[in-house]
Amino acid sequence: MNSNDKIRSLKLIAVITGVAAAFIGLLMLLNYFQLRVHDPLNSETLVTLTERLSNDPNNEVLKEEIRALDLMARKAFFTAQWQIKTGSYLLIALVVICIAALRYRMSLLHNINIPEQSKEDELKNRKTASQWITGAIVLFTLLSVFAAFYANKTFTDYSTLQPAVAENDSETEEIEVIALYEEPVETTTEEINTTEEIDTLSRKEITEAAATEPVEETETIPEPEPVKPVAPAFPNTGEYKAQHASFRGPFAQGVVYATNAPQSWDGTSGENIRWKVALDNPGYSSPVIWDDKLFLTTGDENARILWCYNAADGTLLWQHEAKDIQGSPAAMPKTTDDTGLAAPTPATNGNQVFAIFGSGDIVATDMNGNRLWAKNLGVPDNHYGYSSSLICLNNHVFVQYDDNKRAKVMALNAETGDVEWETVRKNKISWSSPVLAEINGKYQLILTANPTVSGYDVETGEELWSVNCLSGEVGPSAGFYDNKIIAANEYANLVVIDAANDYSILWESMDYLPEVSSPVVANDILFIATSYGMLVAFDINSGDILWEQDYGDGFYGSPVVVGGNLYIFELSGKAYIIKADAEYTEIATPELGEGVFTTPAFAKGRLYLRGENHLFCIGK
Q: Please tell me the predicted confidence (pLDDT) of residue 53.
A: 72
Strand partners, 299: 304
Name residues whose C-beta falls within 8 Å of residue 573's C-beta, 6 or more positions apart in sequence. 267, 591, 592, 593, 594, 595, 596, 611, 612
Q: Given pLDDT bands bounded at 50, 70 and 90, which one contains residue 465?
A: very high
Q: If you count them, how many residues does the chain have? A: 620
Q: Please tell me the predicted confidence (pLDDT) of residue 330.
A: 94
| Fold adopted by 237-618 | Methylamine Dehydrogenase; Chain H (2.130.10)
**What letter does residue 561 receive in the DSSP assignment?**
E
Q: Given pLDDT bands bounded at 50, 70 and 90, which one contains residue 189?
A: very low
Q: Please tell me the predicted confidence (pLDDT) of residue 210.
A: 42
Q: Please tell me the predicted confidence (pLDDT) of residue 134.
A: 65
- Strands 525-529 and 520-522 turn out to be antiparallel
Residue 520's nearest CA partner among 298, 251, 273, 290 is 251
Which string of b and e fits 375-414 if b means at least 16 CB within 10 Å? bbbebbebebbbbbbbbbbebbbbbbbbbeeebbbbbbeb
Q: Please tell me the predicted confidence (pLDDT) of residue 614.
A: 98
Which range (28-37, 402-411, 441-450, 567-576) has the least confidence?
28-37
Q: Given pLDDT bands bounded at 50, 70 and 90, which one contains residue 272?
A: very high
The string of DSSP codes covering 258-286 is --------BTTTTBTEEEEEE--S---PP
- For residue 306, report the phi and psi dihedrals to the nearest 5 degrees: -100, 125
How many angstroms from the chain centroid is the CA of residue 123?
66
Q: Please tell me the predicted confidence (pLDDT) of residue 525.
A: 98
Higher pLDDT, 173 or 113: 113
Q: What is the reported pTM?
A: 0.65
Q: Is the dihedral of CA 428, 434, 435, 441 positive or negative?
A: positive
Residue 369's nearest CA partner among 352, 393, 356, 357 is 352
**What letter does residue 252 receive in the DSSP assignment?**
G
Beta sheet of 293-299, edge-to-edge order: 288-290, 293-299, 304-310, 316-321
Q: Please tell me the predicted confidence (pLDDT) of residue 22.
A: 82
Name residues whose C-beta falls within 8 Å of residue 300's C-beta, 6 or more positions apart in sequence. 281, 282, 332, 340, 341, 342
User: Domains of the chain: which residue ranges?
Assistant: 3-176, 182-212, 237-618
H or E element at residue 392: strand 391-393
Residue 493's nearest CA partner among 451, 435, 434 is 451
- Is the per-residue pLDDT at 335 higher than 80? yes
- Measured from the Cβ of residue 253, the count of other Cβ atoms closer than 10 Å reads 24
Rounded Cα–Cα distance for residues 352 and 379 (Å): 24
**For 489-517, what is each residue's pLDDT tens digit?**
999 999 999 999 999 999 999 999 999 99
Under 8 Å between Cβ of 426 and 439 = no
- Measured from the Cβ of residue 442, the count of other Cβ atoms closer than 10 Å reads 11
For the chain, give the mean pLDDT: 83
Rounded average pLDDT over 532-543:
97
Rounded average pLDDT over 569-576:
97
Q: Please tell me the predicted confidence (pLDDT) of residue 48.
A: 75
H or E element at residue 296: strand 293-299
- For residue 451, say if its preceding peptide bond is cis, omega within 30 degrees of 0: yes
Helices (H), 38-115: 44-55, 60-110
Strand partners, 485: 480, 497
Rounded Cα–Cα distance for residues 285 and 344 (Å): 5
**For 591-603, what is each residue's pLDDT tens digit?**
999 999 999 999 9
At position 49, the amino acid (one-letter code) is L
